[in-house]
Chain A
Amino acid sequence: EAGVAQSPRYKIIEKRQSVAFWCNPISGHATLYWYQQILGQGPKLLIQFQNNGVVDDSQLPKDRFSAERLKGVDSTLKIQPAKLEDSAVYLCASSLDRNRGREGYTFGSGTRLTVV
C-alpha cells in the first residue's frame, strides 16, 4: 500500500508571499488531516476533512490559511500571505474514516517551510 504523498519536501519563501502544499492520501481513505509542527513542539491539527467536507478547522488561522479537498481525494493547503511564524513542517495524514482515525494513522514525510 502506497503511503501518504506530500510535495514539495522543502520550500523557502519571503514573508508576505504565498505558498501551497499538496497531499495525496492513501487510496480509499475518507479522512484527511493537516498538521503544523513548529520546531521543538508537537504537531497541531490545522484542519480535518471527511471526504470533501470540513470536520474541524477550529485551529486554522483563516485570515491567511485555506485548504480544500476537491473530489474527496487529494488536498492542498495554502498560506497567503506568509508570516515568519509560519515556518514549520506541514504534515498530512489519512485514515479510512473518522472512527478508524482513533486507532492511529499514517503521516506523510511533510513539507518543511521556511519563511525569511
Chain B
Amino acid sequence: GDSVTQMEGPVTLSEEACLTINCTYTATGYPSLFWYVQYPGEGLQLLLKATKADDKGSNKGFEATYRKETTSFHLEKGSVQVSDSAVYFCALSGTDSWGKLQFGAGTQVVVTP
C-alpha cells in the first residue's frame, strides 16, 4: 500500500540556518504530495503541495519539488526563524484514494535564537 517515510526528529538548528527535511514515498501511479505543519498547540495546516511530477510547491519561504524518479518530496527553507518551530508532516494522496491522506510520522523542528 501507499506509505510515506520522513526523517526522524527532533531537528535543532539556529535561526537563519538552512533546513531540509527528507521525505520519500511509495505509491502506485501519480499521487499528490503535501507538507502539513503543526505549530505548538494548533491544528494541522497545509503548508504546500504538488500534484504532478516536477511541480514545485512553495509557501512562506518553504519549497519542495515532486521528484518522480527518486520518489521524493524534500522540504527546504533557506533561512529559518524561531517561528518556524513546529512539527512537519509529509503526506500523499494516492491516485485512487479519493482524498485519503497517508501521513509520515512527522519531524519536529526546533529553531533557537
Contact = CB atoms under 8 A, between A and B. Distances in A.
Contact of A101 (B42, B44, B98): B98
Interface residues of A, number: 28
Interface stretch (B11-19, B78-86, B101-109): B101-109
B60 to A, nearest CB: 15
A105 B91 contact: no
Interface string B67-103: 0000000000000000000000101010001111101
A77 interface: no
Contact of A102 (B4, B32, B89, B103): B32
B43 interface: yes
Contacts of A98: 98-99
A25 interface: no
Contacts of B44: 43, 91, 107, 110
Interface in A79-110: 91, 95, 98-110
Contacts, number: 68
Size category, B interface? 20 to 34
A91 B46 CA distance: 14
Nearest to B57: A104
Interface of B: 4, 32, 34, 42-46, 49, 51, 89, 91, 93, 97-101, 103-106
Interface of A: 31, 33, 35, 40-45, 48, 50, 55-56, 91, 95, 98-110
Given A42-B89, A45-B100, A100-B99, 18 more contacts: A33-B100, A41-B105, A41-B106, A42-B4, A42-B103, A42-B104, A42-B106, A43-B103, A48-B99, A50-B98, A99-B99, A101-B99, A102-B32, A103-B49, A105-B99, A107-B44, A109-B42, A110-B44
